[in-house]
Amino acid sequence: MVPLGKPNADEFIDKIQNKNDVILFLDALDEDQQAIKNYHKRIADLMEKCSTFKRVVITSRTQFFPSDEEIPKETGIAKVGAKHLGEEGAYSFLKLYLSPFSDEQVDAYLKKFYKWRFKERRKAFDLIKKIENLKVRPMLLTHISDIVKSKDIEIKYSYELYDIMIEGWLDRESYFVEKSDLRNFSENLAVDLYNKSAQRGTERVHADELKSLAETWNISLEKWQLTGRSLLNRDAEGNYKFAHRSIMEYLYVKNYQYWEGIELTDQMKMFFEEMIQADAIRIEDLPTDICLFCLENENISLQKKLIAGNQLNNVGDPRFLTDFWYLPDDPLFGFIEMGASRLTPRSCTLIFYLIQICYGRLVLLHSMY
């Protein structure tokens, strides 16, 4: 196996002995600097260099090529000797796509990897359950292994695993592209793809549009970095999307801004709920719609609901229609302050919701908790 991303890959190929008996794996064409500049020429040069090997297998990300039609079909290597009737005179490339793991394959992988380490295997299974839809990704399994081995990393929420996974991907690509630029581009693209999905009719964008989007956001990345080194996958038509929709949803939440008329997905709401519960984001910094989400979410604690209510009071509650309500010119707006000793937690919660329903704003009640 020869990693094409290494500068001395050609020298290593030349030094291989008994080429006629060797099956050569050329790994990661998308990391080959010469292929990045001109993959047609690079593949032709490699085929000329490797023509005497028994078999040659080249691996690459599918998104490295602009479309399926752009993947070379002819090797340029002539067949030697007698040929059958109708047989081509030159060797052709045979394309083979690696499918995602099935549930059974994931289970088998973990059982073999952690064979007698039952505690670690159990931890790995628990982690996968938190983001079940991504367990078909071999990349995810790799990062789960790192988390399981580390005693310093404790995953309580699924968003934490997404963060670790994306950070690991960015670290891997840092040799080819600046991490901060790639993260910035990915977060901006997540917002663009989701907000304009109705306009485009899909959550994908064509390769030709990626460069102009990066320039719009003042991000200095080349087209090959945007297509081959990003968190995106390419389809057969040359359109790009995130490797998994939940990655786009997570990045959307990380770079969230309020957009009128845009409805959050259930997955996005789950990420927000987890981050609020974990104090990963300040409720005081949240826009109005997410403050309302806090008030309506039964899994958010009462203390956090009070903070969200106060934030709405500061910025304005869109549910409160001033044309239909009159509040007295009084510090407590006509309400009576009640001491903590007169309120049970259940009573406080009831009053909280009554005020929320009737007036659309909150009054801070002094209580024992």
Q: In this structure, is the dihedral angle defined by the CA atoms of residues 205, 219, 160 and 272, taken in order, positive or negative?
A: negative
Check residue 287 and give its pLDDT: 82
Whether the Cβ atoms of residue 251 and residue 187 lie closer than 8 Å to each other: yes
CA gap 308, 311 in Å, rounded: 5
Which DSSP category does 235 fall into? -
Whether the Cβ atoms of residue 246 and residue 269 lie closer than 8 Å to each other: no
**How far from 182 is each of 4, 27, 189, CA to CA, in Å?**
23, 23, 10
**How far from 38 is each of 8, 10, 44, CA to CA, in Å?**
18, 16, 10
SS3 26: strand
Residue 3 CA neighbour count, 13 Å, CB half: 4
Task: Match 């670690």 to its residue by tokens.
Answer: 120
Largest Cα separation within the chain, whole Å, is 101
Digit-by-digit pLDDT tens for the chain (369 residues) are 998 877 788 989 999 999 999 999 998 888 787 888 888 899 999 998 988 898 999 998 777 787 777 888 888 777 666 666 556 667 888 888 877 777 788 788 888 888 888 888 887 777 777 655 555 556 556 667 766 766 666 777 878 888 888 887 888 788 888 888 989 999 999 999 988 887 887 888 888 888 899 999 998 888 888 887 777 888 777 888 887 788 888 999 988 876 767 788 888 888 988 898 888 888 888 888 888 888 888 888 888 888 888 888 777 777 766 666 666 677 776 677 766 656 666 666 666 666 655 544 444 443 333
In this predicted model, what pLDDT tens digit does every residue of 21-53 receive, in sequence order? 999 999 888 878 788 888 889 999 999 898 889
Check residue 365 and give its pLDDT: 40
Check residue 364 and give its pLDDT: 43
CA gap 64, 162 in Å, rounded: 24
Name the pTM for this structure.
0.62
Please name the residues in contact with 26: beta carbons below 8 A apart, sequence gap of 6 or more.
2, 4, 9, 46, 50, 56, 57, 58, 59
Check residue 143 and give its pLDDT: 65
Check residue 80 and give its pLDDT: 65
CA gap 263, 265 in Å, rounded: 7
Residue 190: enclosing H or E segment and its boundaries? helix 179-195
Q: For residue 354, what are its two tokens?
A: 């009554």
Check residue 124 and give its pLDDT: 79
Check residue 228 and give its pLDDT: 78
Check residue 363 and give its pLDDT: 42
User: In 20-82, where does DSSP find H-type helix?
Assistant: 33-37, 39-49
Check residue 188 and give its pLDDT: 92
CA gap 172, 146 in Å, rounded: 14
Q: What are the two backbone dihedrals, phi and then psi, of residue 74, each rounded to the nearest 5 degrees?
A: -100, 135
Check residue 237 and give its pLDDT: 76
Whether the Cβ atoms of residue 177 and residue 220 lie closer than 8 Å to each other: no
In this predicted model, what pLDDT tens digit does every residue of 158-186 receive, in sequence order? 788 888 888 878 887 888 888 889 899 99
- Amino acid code (one letter) for 25: F
Q: What are the two backbone dihedrals, phi and then psi, of residue 57, each rounded to the nearest 5 degrees?
A: -120, 125
Which DSSP category does 55 fall into? E
Check residue 87 and give its pLDDT: 64
Check residue 16 and give its pLDDT: 92
Whether the Cβ atoms of residue 126 and residue 114 lie closer than 8 Å to each other: no
In 3D space, the residue among 67, 54, 61 whose CA is nearest the CA of residue 23 turns out to be: 54
